[in-house]
Amino acid sequence: MIECKICGNMFETDDRRYKCCSAKCSKINQQQHIRRWRKEHREEVRERQRGTYVRNPNQTEHFCKICGEPIRWSETKHPVQHDECVLNEIVKRINSGKKMTDAQYQQLVARGYDLGMFAEEYRKVLKHYPTVAYNKKRKK
């Protein structure tokens, strides 16, 4: 038997992590916990509200593998390379007369393109229609 943290009623449970007897008491406990945390961390709460809070000030910057410029995590879903850099690399490869690699095709798909959409959007810049050089495993 465990005593409820909020109302003081005794209740039985198999899980030792339970502190409250009901969902209503759990909700009250959660609200009290949030109030205590906010009181103890007032400066952090103010910084978050002002938009000046830095979660990890020692975090290293991420740089684009293609152009070397820093990448902000909020700019892109792909924090390794800028979207523009990836698309420009693909355009360069196609204009040099080569086919796209599987990896480049996957990068296009990850950014919401298919070959037709990409060709339509970049038709002014492309000299050739994009094709993919698929890597097929050879049987011996």
pLDDT of res. 75: 45
d(C-alpha 36, C-alpha 129), whole Å = 62
The model's pLDDT over 25-72, given as tens digits with 9 standing for 90+, comes to 999 999 999 999 999 999 888 887 776 666 666 666 677 888 888 876
pLDDT of res. 76: 45
pLDDT of res. 9: 93
* Length in residues, the chain: 140
Tokens of 90: 């693909």
Q: Which residues contact 122 (CB under 8 A, 6 or more apart)?
A: 87, 91
